[in-house]
Amino acid sequence: MKTVFSPVQLAHDPKHEISDGMLKPAVEIPSRAEIVRARILETGFGDVLPPDEFGLEPIARVHAGDYIAFLEGFWTRWTNAGRSGEAFPFVWPVRELRTKPVPDHIDGLLGRYSFDAGTPLGEETWVAARASADTALTAARLVAGGDRAAFALCRPPGHHAHADFYGGYCFLNNAAIAAQYLRDAGADRVAVLDVDYHHGNGTQAIFYDRADVLFLSLHADPIEEFPYFLGHADETGEGAGEGFNANFPLALGTDWPAFSRALDAALERVAEFSPDTLVVSLGLDTYERDPISKFRLKSEEFLALGARLEKAGLPTVFVMEGGYAVDALGVNCVNVLSGFEG
Ligand code: Q9C
Ligand code: ZN
């Protein structure tokens, strides 16, 4: 299968993040993408193509106009306010606080358009996030055009980004943008299966009231793990989307046997739904040595994950999400893809 990647995605190069209640070195860093690209080339897995430019329209099918304008204009506002370096929000409109009117002040805007302080926003974030979305869109276009599968080597990742706020290292929801593109290109039903260690809260929320996009997520139980406030098993969709959302929260320490049982259950739901296309939010942070995660998948077991996904028998768009054990990320990611190819 083909891989899509743009070096513009490397421009988002954060130095720090707030996690564990303090300022720490950033883990969602450019070398993540570089090591995966290097592994694809060194194993001769397939061609690596640059993305096409799709413009803002397919992004605006998923994200709010004011949010897109905020991201686009952020750096100018930030520097006009006399600030420099990467930005972190610190105040949010929770519970009784109001989301309207939208504040004029940059710190108010940062809080309005985010949900955590763990996601550094810098000068090059917008250009990189756009390139990452173009990468997902190009992979979706390949599959819409008849390729059995394609790999979008996305970075920054996307699945935590909602229609109008960022977080969890994510700004534009690449998988959701790809799924919506596939619908607009003629697919009647699209399933998004999220196998990242963290719940795909953004993707879930974007499609929560829709019956045309089934969202399924396997992840660490949010009672114990980020994003904490979404991802429980009783979230099944609402309105027309009731029954078209399925969460599989798993215990910390989950290994491949338990993970693959949940995967089988999720893929059974996919088969019942009978989608035209499958989008896989491919996080590799389920790896046993991931520095921020607590599942126990081994490198060889990612081959089995890919093989199991292939058995669904669907045109498949892989969209990279998390995975922070950089030295092993290339092997683990290409194991999934080559397991799929058999
Ligand atoms: N102590 C993705 O995998 N911070 N995002 C966790 C750990 C947020 C992960 C703090 C993790 C976000 C795309
Ligand atoms: Zn993750």
Enumerate residues 6+ apart whose C-beta is below 8 A from 161. Answer: 63, 167, 168, 170, 171, 172, 173, 202
Q: How far does residue 235's CA lie from ligand 1's centre (Å)?
A: 21
d(CA 180, CA 5): 20
Q: What is the pLDDT of residue 286?
A: 99
- Average pLDDT of the residues of the chain: 99
Whole-number percent of the chain with pLDDT over 70: 100
Mean pLDDT computed over 148-155: 99
Given this model, what pLDDT does residue 163 score?
Answer: 99
Read off the pLDDT of residues 41-77 as tens digits, 9 standing for 90 and up. 999 999 999 999 999 999 999 999 999 999 999 999 9
Cis peptide before 257 (omega within 30 of 0): no
Alpha-helix runs per DSSP H in the chain: 31-42, 57-60, 65-80, 106-112, 125-144, 174-184, 201-207, 256-273, 301-310, 326-341
Mean pLDDT, residues 159-183: 99
Closest ligand 1 atom to 170 CA = 13
Mean pLDDT for 1-22 is 98
The pLDDT, as a whole number, for residue 84 is 97
| CATH node for 2-58+127-341 | 3.40.800.20
| 154 — pLDDT class (breaks 50, 70, 90) | very high
- pLDDT confidence tier of residue 135, bands split at 50, 70 and 90: very high
- Whose C-alpha lies nearest to ligand 1, atom 2? 322
Q: Is 158 in the pocket of ligand 1 (CB under 6 A)?
A: no
Mean of pLDDT values over 107-120: 98
Structure-token match 């390139």, residue found: 131
Please work out whether the CB of residue 20 comes within 6 Å of at least one atom of ligand 1: yes
For residue 154, the ligand closest to its alpha carbon is: 1
Pocket probe for ligand 1: among 18, 28, 172, the residue whose CB has the most ligand atoms within 8 Å is: 28
262: pLDDT confidence band, cut at 50, 70 and 90? very high
At 94, give phi and psi (nearest 5°): -80, 155
Pick the residue whose CA is nearest to atom 1 on ligand 1.
Answer: 20
Query: What is the Å distance from ligand 2's center to 103 Cα?
Result: 30
Domain ranges within the chain, ordered by starting residue: 2-58+127-341
What's the 293 CA to ligand 2 centre distance in angstroms?
8
Note if 232 is an active site residue: no
Rounded to 5°, the CA angle 173-143-213 comes to: 50
